[in-house]
Amino acid sequence: MGKVVVALDPPPRVEPEGWVRERVNHLCELVSSFKVGLPLVLRTGVIRLRELFSVCSKPLIADLKLADIGDIMSYVVEVLADAGVSAVISHAFVGRRGALDVLITKSEELGVKPILVVSMSHQGSTEFIDKHLSEFVNIALELRVWGVVAPATRREVISSVRELAGSELRIFSPGIGAQGAEPGSAICSGADYEIVGRAVTSSPNPKEALEKIIYEQERRVRECRS
Ligand code: BMP
């Protein structure tokens, strides 16, 4: 079974609910989980998530990249928990005290798994975020979060995160496909899951596209582990 999280980000001019429904129906059996963010939630509202994903029992990750004071992030997590979301992504850069410590406590209370962004897949991540990579990984370890996000587009970053974190953290890596990274390359560098959006969701045949990516992922991982 491949280790792919499919990012369901509907483009602006499509009807979002039909677009999501079609892809959830076709892809559910193949994915590890789905990830949704502002492109969907701004248009449908969080309230629609439970119904839209009711046909698929895979976990749903809410990627709102929260970056606020703890009390307000806790409000958001409470809304997401009510909507049936399994995990929530926040930025690490807001720091522990009064922000992530409050958020993580609330997430645990609600059974929502926290994931922290410790590095990003675009080039600008090196301007600020990556300068604090080891501190962000330490925050993730200290707060015992469920996972972290690190970029498939810069595999050396994934390797550093894996080295710093040992086997403690799940690493989710975006950047496969549309952003140029090859399926399997992030897992070969230490990631646990590869996040794929447009390479699957914009394909005329998303199921076939995902099957090909999983095939490629498994092939590359077998190769790098042999
Ligand atoms: P795509 O494969 O279409 O490029 O989508 C990547 C997904 O991963 C998007 O949902 C994006 O918001 C997310 N993502 C990213 O691309 N880079 C990051 O550093 C962090 C992300 O969450």
pLDDT tens, 138-148? Answer: 999 999 999 99
Nearest atom, ligand 1, residue 179 CA = 4
Q: Tens digits of per-residue pLDDT, 81-111?
A: 999 999 999 999 999 999 999 999 999 999 9
User: Using the 8-state DSSP alphabet, how is residue 112 labeled?
Assistant: P
pTM over 0.75: yes
Cα distance between residue 150 and residue 212, in whole Å = 23
Is 65 tagged catalytic? yes
Q: Which ligand 1 atom minimizes the distance to the CA of 125?
A: 19
CATH code at position 123:
3.20.20.70
Total number of domains in the chain: 1
Q: Which residues contact 107 (CB under 8 A, 6 or more apart)?
A: 77, 88, 113, 114
Task: Check 3, 35, 58, 65 and give the catalytic one.
Answer: 65
Q: Measured in angstroms, how far is the CA atom of residue 168 from the centroid of ligand 1?
A: 23
Structure confidence by residue, pLDDT tens digits, 15-24: 999 999 999 9
Q: CA dihedral defined by 183, 157, 108, 57, rounded to 10 degrees?
A: 0
Running along the chain, 226 residues long, what does each successive block of 10 average in pLDDT? 92 97 98 98 97 97 98 98 98 98 98 98 98 98 98 98 96 98 98 98 98 98 96
Q: What are 170's strand-pairing partners?
A: 147
- The SS3 call for residue 86 is coil
Domain that holds residue 89: 4-225
